[in-house]
Amino acid sequence: MKKKNKKLDILMILTIIAGVLVLGAAGTLIGLEAGRLHTEVETAKAEREAKKNAAESGVAAVTESGLSDSNQTENVDPEAAAIALHATSDVIRGAAVAAIPNVSEYADAVQNGNLVTPIPRNSLENAGTGQNQTEGNGFIVCIDAGHETNQITDLEPNGPGSENMKQGVTSGTQGNWSGVYEYQVNLDVTLKLRDALAARGYTVVLCREINDVTMSNVQRAQIAADANADIFLRIHCNSSDSSSVDGVLCYAPTSSNPYLSEEVIERSQALSRIMRDAQCEETGQTALDNLYQDDMTGINWAEMPVTIVEMGFMSNYDEDMFLTSEDGQDQIVRGLVNGVDEYFSRYGKMEAAE
């Protein structure tokens, strides 16, 4: 009987040792996975910062792999990596608990599995909440969320008195990867921009607050005129036949635009430069050369400084994902608000024409 009990004791000891080894292996796996994903998170953050710094200095950001960030088809998302880490650790944790319940090493496994926590999305500070709102600063901003659900095929004059007729409005582009329509992104950013500008004391007028409207480009410019807006911001996304093209640019009238006054032209060109640069400074996107054209109906009919902000290319994977994300839109809005502040601090109101 004593020999049998001794064998049972030995078997129990061996079982406990095996269980401890299993838990140790599980904890090691968790620790390795945590370390790997933590490294990827930190690398991704460093690459994003490098891209932003590189954009400011005009040099392409080079990632740890040696490839330009713009050439990569997929970047590590810190938040997604953190979530994946927790999912992995939960699986291993569950196996460990099932194998060896109520052992002290489990606490170490839990700790290893929580090395990385989800990174919260950035949010606009106090935007639209009423906190730290300033009294009206006297400036009126009209924002046009470009395009709409259904295009308007009826034609309208390209400018006041023009015989050149153009389509009333198009439906815009669509994300090649996200599948999100441009008019939706434009509206999402416009609504956030309205709240952020209002929080800084601006009076904001929107051309539209829903997608299902029937509103031509001339009508949108007339809304800005009726509101006596000091500037007219037209929010858009871009697209290209090449998926490698990315960056931010603005449209402005040429210096010989036949429909606008010299002061409106000069201020529109200045507004376009400021808005592009302010967005890129905040987001780290590439600042492309602005385009100066006289075939943009919504510009030609404006009676105040006007710009079309092309926030990024929905034909580019990285920018499509950026433009359709909450974090990306919040960064863009912060940049655009800074741009509005800079414009008015440098130029103020335009004197009313007599």
Structure tokens at 111: 């700790």
Under 8 Å between Cβ of 325 and 283: no
pLDDT at 181 over 90: yes
Q: What mean pLDDT is predicted for residues 141-167?
A: 96
Tens digits of residue pLDDT in 89-100: 343 333 333 333
Look up residue 158 and give its DSSP letter: S
Q: What pLDDT score does 49 carry?
A: 56
What stretch of H or E contains 256?
none
With a cut of 50, say whether residue 314 has pLDDT above it. yes
C-alpha distance across the termini of the chain, in Å? 115
Quick one: pLDDT at residue 309? Answer: 98
Angle at 219 between CA 218 and CA 224, to 5 degrees: 100
- Residue 209 in this model has a pLDDT that exceeds 50: yes
Token readout for 193 is 């921009």
Q: Which CATH class is domain 140-347?
A: alpha beta
Given the structure tokens 């007729």, which residue do they identify?
165
The 10s digit of each residue's pLDDT in 216-234 is 999 999 999 999 999 999 9
Burial 305-314 (b: 16+ CB within 10 A, else e): bbbbbbbbbb
The C-alpha angle 46, 329, 264, rounded to 5 degrees, equals 115
Selected residue with higher pLDDT from 40 and 294: 294
What pLDDT sits at residue 352? 73
**Structure-token pair, residue 224:** 């800005």
Q: Please report which confidence band the pLDDT of residue 123 belongs to, taking 50, 70 and 90 as the band edges.
A: very low
Q: Mean pLDDT throughout 109-117?
A: 30
Q: Quick one: DSSP state of residue 294? A: S
The answer to whether residues 198 and 143 touch, using CB atoms and an 8 Å cutoff, is: no
Asked if pLDDT for residue 24 goes beyond 60, the answer is: no
Asked whether residue 303 carries a pLDDT value surpassing 80, the answer given is yes
Residue percentage of the chain with pLDDT more than 90: 60
pLDDT tens track for 249-300: 999 999 999 999 999 999 999 999 999 999 999 999 999 999 999 999 999 9
Chain Cα centroid distance, residue 115? 27
pTM to 2 decimal places: 0.64
Give the residue with greater pLDDT, 349 vs 31: 349
Q: Give CA torsion, residues 332, 226, 213, 182, to 10 deg.
A: -20
Predicted confidence at residue 37, as pLDDT, reads: 42
Closest to 95 measured CA to CA, from 84, 116, 109: 109
pLDDT at 171 over 60: yes
Mean of pLDDT values over 337-345:
98
What local confidence, expressed as pLDDT, does residue 12 receive? 56
